[in-house]
Every structure is written in C-alpha cells, then in structure tokens.
Amino acid sequence: MLTYLLASNNNLNGTLETLRDLSMLSNGIMYLHGRYLLLNNNNFRGHIPVELGKMSNLKILLLHNNGLSGPIPSSLADLESINEINLGNNSLTGGIPPELGRLQYMEYLILHSNNLTGTIPGSLANCSSLKNIKLSKNKLTGTVTQINFLHLRSLESFSVNGNQLGGEFPMNVYNCAALKLLDLSSNEFSEELPDNYKYSQPVLRELRVLKLSSNKFVGNVPGWIWKLPKLQVLDLSHNSFTGVCPTNLSGLESFIRLEPSPDDAGGGSSLIDDFISVEEVIPVRVEVDGGKLLEQISIEAKGARLELEYVLETLFSIDLSYNQLSGSLPYALGDLRGLTYLKLTHNNFSGEIPQVFEDLLHLQSLDLSANYLTGKIPAVLSRASLSYLNLSYNFLEGEIPTANAFSTRYDISSFKPGNDQLCGAPLETTCAAQDSNASGSSATLGAPSFELLDGTFWRAFEIGIPIGFVIVIGVVIGTLRTMPCARHWLLHTKDFPRHFNKGGYGVFNEPT
C-alpha cells in the first residue's frame, strides 16, 4: 500500500486533476490510504481537486509554491487526521472555508501569499491543536477579534500581515501562553493598544517576535511590551504612537542576558550570508531548533529590508521608526547589551545622544535620523562593530569623530542633509581648528596677535603721544582765557579752599 508520495522540488507541471488517472495506483491517487502527499515546489496549475477530501488518512498535505488557482475546497475538512495543510504561495481565491474548524488534529494551517478574500472564520478557534496559523499576504478583511484565542492554548505563531484587517488589537491573545510570533503588520488595525493593567504577571512570556508595524495604532506604547522576557524582534514602526520611551527596560530580559561571543555578534554576516533555506522536516515538524525560531520574517536594518529564513538566537532588533515618540533617548538603552539593530528614525526625540551606546558591543545598525537631536556625536559611536549609521536630519554640531576610521567609514548621507553645524570628514566643511592650522596663522577667536603688539601698536603709540600733548595744552589755554574763575584759581591756589567752602552745608554752616 502506498503511504508516501514525495514529489517536491521538481519541475512537474500540469494539473492535479490528472493524478486521478494514474493507472499504476489502484483506484487512483484520491482513494489511497496514504499519509503524506508532498507536491510542493513544482509547476502545477489549475484547481485543487475536491476529491482530496477522500484521503481520510492523510496527515500532511503540501501543495505550496505552485501555480494553483480557484477556491480552497471545503472537502478538505473531511481530512480528519490531517496535521498540516500548506497551500501557500499560489493564486488561490475565495474565502477560507469555515468547515476547516472541524479539524481537531490540525497543527499547521499555512495559506499565505494567495488572493484569499473575506473574513477569518472564528471556527478556527475550534482547532485546539493549532500551533501555526499563517494567513499573511492575502486580501482578507474584517477583524481578528472573532477568534477566541482562549481555546488556542498551543498556538505558537499567528501571522496575518499584509491584509486589510482592522479593528482593535485582540486582547484575548494574552491567553496564548505558548505564542512565540505575533505578526499583525501592514493592516488597518487602529485605536490604542490595551495595557495589561489587570495582570500582575507579564503576559506572553514566550513571545520572541512582535510585529505591529504599518497600522494605525495611536497612544502610548503599553507597558506590557517592555516586559516581554524572551522578546527578540520588536517592530512598531509606521504607526502614530506618542509619549516617551520608558526609563526602565529591564523587562526585556533576553536583550540583557545575552552574552554572544565576538564571532557570533547577533546578526552580521550570519544573518545575511549564512542563512540557508529551511527544509521541511517530515514527519516531525520542528518549530524551534538549536535556538532558531523557524519562521520567515522581514526586518528593516542597515538601510534595507532583510528577508530572514529564521530568527537566530542572537538577533535582537527594535524598530520604533515613523511614529510621534518624543523626549530624550533613554539611558536604559545601554542595558540592552544584545541589541544588534536599532531604528528610531522619523520621531520627535530631542536632546543629546547618550553615551550609553558604548555598552552595546554588538550593535551593527543605528538609525536616529529625522529627529531633533542636538549636541556632539559621541565618540563611542566610532565602535568598529557599527557597520551602518544614519544621523541625518538632526541638529548635531561639532567635529565628527575620527577614531576607528569613523569619519571615512560612512559617506555624507550618514550625516546630511541637516546637522548644519557639523564639520570634519567626510563633510566638505572643515572645523575651525583645522582652518587655523592649515593657513599657518593664529586667527583663533579671542587670541591677540603678538605681531600687532610688537610693531603696529607701538608705532601708533609713539605718534599719538605728541599729538595728545598739544591737544591738552590747547584745552588748558582756552579755559584760562574764557573762564576768569579758573584763571584766579590757578594764580591764587591758597585762597581756593576758603572760597569753595563759603556756601555752607545746609544747617551745618561754617562758624563765623
């Protein structure tokens, strides 16, 4: 009896309907008692056969990365033993059949990158074994609050990014104690994020990736986000969050505890050059392997979007860009010693760049552009591990640091436009001290010229003495000729005190 049909990663084409006619298989493939049907990564087109629902013993159905079209047949709900359905990256249309809520043993429902429409059926909450729901990059509408996450106690990953979903943040997701990834990005969710003021203990203690970017959230960033002990990737960018950053970030325990070796500094080449594709593990599906979370995510860092096949245990990223956050950059950032990517661009942060960045030994990408930062660029930013830096559109001043080839490691776009008072390489504006040394003069502001004192000054003094003497004599002679009293005083100086005191001092007159 045929129990496996593995034909993945080939150039097979045609339609799946032709599988009915395989004469070598008794009664055709749709009546097999097989457990695994793997036809992913081929060129199959056409509709998914309704007859697939007759494979009652099927545990894994992989049809992703093909050219399939049409609706998802509701007959798939008859696959009572199914563990995984992966129809991702096709051209499927229509809605998600609510009948799928009958699949009690289904752990993985992967329908991403299609053209599915309609709402997410609340009946999926009846699939109590679900670990991974991936519905991203479709055209789904409505909300997610109709899903009772209270029943999805085993849920580890919930990804609906790139749809047209809206409404409020689903508060009952707090009940998913095993959740490792929550991605609601690129939708139309709005209003304020609820705070867990009713909870005495941190929620979502296993969460490693939280992506809420490109929505319409407003208000302060709630406190529970800064208390996720295993969080590695936080992306709240492109919203309308306001307020200030917290002064205490000790709740982000994984950022603080990490002590990676110098050869594995939390990203770097291992995040880009050394990533390998994650192969399907059959029949055992592993979600966490050797510290890696086997989930594809994208992050913006180093001035580009990075598509990651999985989340390394040394990846730590915070993206709060394109919001309305204000205040000073918190000194608590220095406690996040494992931080590799930090993006705070396009906010209202002000004040000086704190010196705490000297403690971030593994920071590789720092974007503080388009804020209201002032003061000088800290020399600690010249650390060699920092491979990307953007400080443009601020109000920084002074000389650009030169240690560790800082001034030549970045081009002008790291500092300009903006920062009109910055000087030094790589800018064309040289600093005042450099101008003075280059010209050989000592025209430093406030410093006197000894050449002037030794030459010109003394010549002017010599010429001025006789001229001043003549002027004084002329004034004296003119006074004597025009003022008789002055002439009398000069000729009779002994009588002056008596004549001066003759007038008296009020009631105190000179005695007679």
Q: Which two tokens stand for residue 112?
A: 């991403």
Is position 467 within any domain? yes
Question: CB neighbours (10 Å) of residue 411?
Answer: 9
E strands present in 186-264? 188-192, 209-211, 216-220, 233-235, 240-242
Rounded to 5 degrees, what are φ and ψ at 350?
-135, 180
Beta-bridge partner residues of 306? 299
Backbone angles phi, psi at 499, to 5 degrees: -70, -35
Closest CA to 380 of 408, 353, 345, 419: 353
Long-range pairs for 227-230: beta carbons < 8 A, 24 or more residues apart: 227/202, 227/251, 227/252, 228/202, 228/204, 228/252, 229/202, 229/205, 229/253, 229/254, 230/205, 230/206, 230/254
| Number of CB atoms found within 10 A of residue 104's CB | 13
Q: How many domains does the chain have?
A: 1
Query: In the 8-state DSSP scheme, what is residue 190?
Result: E
Q: Return the H-helix or E-strand segment holding 62.
A: strand 60-62
Token pair for 456: 């010109």
CA 130, CA 124: separation in Å to the nearest integer?
9
Summarised one tens digit per residue, pLDDT across range 89-131 is 999 999 999 999 999 999 999 999 999 999 999 999 999 999 9
Is residue 385 within 8 A of residue 361, CB to CB? The reply is yes
Q: In this structure, what are the phi and psi dihedrals at residue 129, rounded to the nearest 5 degrees?
A: -90, -5
- The span from the CA of 169 to the CA of 227, in Å, is 18
Q: Is residue 484 part of a domain?
A: yes
Please check whether residue 464 lies inside any domain of the structure: yes
CA distances in angstroms from 14 to 11, 19, 44, 108, listed in the order given: 10, 10, 5, 27
Question: Dihedral of the CA atoms 100, 187, 315, 413 (nearest 10)?
Answer: 160
Report the alpha-carbon distance of residue 404 to residue 361 in Å, rounded: 14
| pLDDT of 7 | 54
Peptide bond into 497 cis (omega under 30): no
Going by the DSSP 8-state scheme, the letter that residue 178 receives in this structure is: T
| pLDDT reported for residue 258 | 57
Task: Answer whether residue 341 is part of any domain.
Answer: no
Render each residue's pLDDT in the chain as its tens digit; 512 residues.
Answer: 445 555 555 566 667 665 555 433 434 445 455 688 888 888 889 999 998 898 888 999 999 999 999 999 999 999 999 999 999 999 999 999 999 999 999 999 999 999 999 999 999 999 999 999 999 999 999 999 999 998 999 999 999 999 999 999 998 898 899 999 999 999 999 999 988 655 556 689 999 999 999 999 999 999 999 999 999 999 999 999 999 999 999 999 999 875 544 444 333 333 323 222 223 323 334 344 444 445 666 666 666 666 666 566 777 999 999 999 999 999 999 999 999 999 999 999 999 999 998 889 899 999 999 999 999 999 988 876 888 999 999 999 999 998 888 878 888 999 999 999 999 989 988 888 654 444 333 333 333 333 334 444 445 545 555 566 556 555 555 554 555 544 444 444 444 333 334 333 333 233 33
Q: Please report the pLDDT score of residue 195 as a whole number.
A: 83
Q: From the centroid of its chain, how far is CA 148? A: 31
Q: Is residue 290 part of a domain?
A: no
Q: Which residues constitute the domain of residue 491?
A: 454-502
Considering just the CA atoms, what is the radius of gyration of the chain in Å? 39
Looking at residue 194, what is its pLDDT? Answer: 87
C-alpha pair distances (Å), 375 with each of 60, 351, 387: 60, 7, 22
496 within domain boundaries: yes
Q: Specify the DSSP element, H or E, that contains 352.
A: strand 348-352
Rounded Cα–Cα distance for residues 149 and 160 (Å): 14
What strands lie across the sheet with 216-220, from one edge to the other? Answer: 166-167, 188-192, 216-220, 240-242
Are 46 and 18 in contact, with CB atoms under 8 Å apart? no
Residue 8 lies in a domain: no
Query: Does some domain include residue 198?
Result: no
Phi, then psi, of 209 in degrees rounded to 5: -135, 125
Residue that has been written with the tokens 């609906």 in this structure: 160
Question: Do 410 and 386 form a contact (C-beta atoms < 8 A)?
Answer: no
Give, to the nearest 10 degrees, the angle between helix 484-491 and helix 456-482: 100
Cα gap 22→509, rounded to integer Å: 142
Residue 385 and residue 359 in contact, taking contact as beta carbons nearer than 8 Å: no
- Rounded Cα distance, 99 and 135, in Å: 16
427: amino acid identity, one letter: L
**What does the pLDDT read at residue 432?**
82
Peptide bond into 330 cis (omega under 30): no
Amino acid at 66: N
Q: In sequence order, what DSSP letters do the residues of 359-388 get, joined into one string?
A: G-TT--EEE--SSEEEEPPPGGGG-TT--E
CA angle 330, 333, 337 (to 5 degrees): 170
Q: What is the pLDDT of residue 442?
A: 33
- Cis link prior to 283 (omega < 30° from 0)? yes
Phi, psi of 490 (to 5 degrees): -70, -35
The pLDDT of residue 405: 81
Structure tokens at 404: 């560790």
- CA-to-CA distance for 377 and 386, rounded, in angstroms? 14
